[in-house]
Amino acid sequence: MPLVRNVQNPMEGGTDILAINLCERRKALGMSVDDLAREARVSALYARALEEGDWDVFPAKIYARGILMRIAGVLEPGDGAAFLEMLDREWLFYAKKKSVAAIGQSGVRREPLFLLTPGGLRAILAGGILLAILGFLGVRLVVFTAPPSLAVLSPEDRAALAGPTVRARGTTEKESRLTVNGRELTIDERGNFDEEIELPLGPNRLQFISESRFGKVTREVRHILMR
């Protein structure tokens, strides 16, 4: 039995061309809907929905296509593609009607919350680059405005030393100003300092102060006994 094809265009008002073909072909084979469902190994609910054009039963088009392929294999093994073509046309019309109904209920067409366009992508990239630059500058600013590092390696605190001089040795920020008890010490290009300081006999308190160009200060104190 040939399929019915020359029926009103579904996109111009809708039709049940698929249902007509499924129903007539099934009846021509002398099968009930339940018989067809058992033969195709599908739910009778879905088989009946295809014959009635009840697309709301299917959660998505892919489910309807899968059920139809099984049924077509029973009804028309050599012309299953024609059934699928009918479904595609009618589902398109169904989806269109559903969209119009949704707009009618809300009164507003729902637009995507976020649409990524080439211009939007360029803006995102530019914003990302700007944030990276600002982050880098922020880190550098924190480093520059932080108190300078200072490590006094010699003399050790509470040391008892002989002789009139003590060796002041250590490291600090190379761009800072370093003093010990008000006396400025020389810092080399790597931030190292190494000088001999003359101290009187008896207990002495040495205060090392490293001051950055931003006015941040780091202090280290050593108590020395000169014998």
Q: Going by DSSP bridges, is the β-strand pair 165-172/177-180 parallel, antiparallel, or unpaired?
A: unpaired
CA 186 distance to own-chain centroid: 51
Last residue of a domain, one of 106, 127, 162: 106
Domain boundary among 52, 74, 106: 106
Q: Are 32 and 101 found together in one domain?
A: yes
Per-residue model confidence as pLDDT tens digits over 104-128: 665 555 555 555 677 777 888 888 8
Indicate if the pLDDT at residue 89 is higher than 70.
Answer: yes
Mean local confidence (pLDDT), 202-227: 93
* Residue 63 located in a structural domain: yes
Q: Compute the radius of gyration of the chain from its Cα atoms.
A: 44
Q: What is the mean pLDDT of residues 34-48?
A: 91
What is the residue range of 53's domain? 10-106
Residue 138 lies in a domain: no
Say if residue 143's pLDDT is above 70: no
52-61, 107-116, 144-153, range with the lowest pLDDT? 107-116
pLDDT over 80 at 140, yes or no:
no
- pLDDT for 104: 63
* CATH number, domain containing residue 56: 1.10.260.40
Beta strands in the chain (DSSP E): 150-154, 159-161, 165-172, 177-180, 183-185, 192-198, 202-211, 217-226
Average pLDDT over residues 92-101: 81
Q: Is 198:176 a contact under the CB 8 Å cutoff? A: no
- Per-residue pLDDT band at 180 (split at 50, 70, 90): very high
Instruction: Report yes or no on 195 lying in a domain.
Output: yes
CATH number at residue 184: 2.60.40.10
Domain assignment of residue 112, yes or no: no
Residues 6+ apart with CB under 8 A from 192: 169, 170, 171
Mean pLDDT value across residues 20-46: 91
Mean pLDDT of the chain: 84
User: What pLDDT shows up at residue 6?
Assistant: 46
Q: How many helices (H) and strands (E) does the chain have?
A: 6, 8
Query: How many structural domains are present in the chain?
Result: 2
Is position 216 within any domain? Answer: yes
The dihedral built from the CA positions of residue 148, 152, 153 and 154, taken in this order, carries a sign that is: positive
Is position 118 within any domain?
A: no
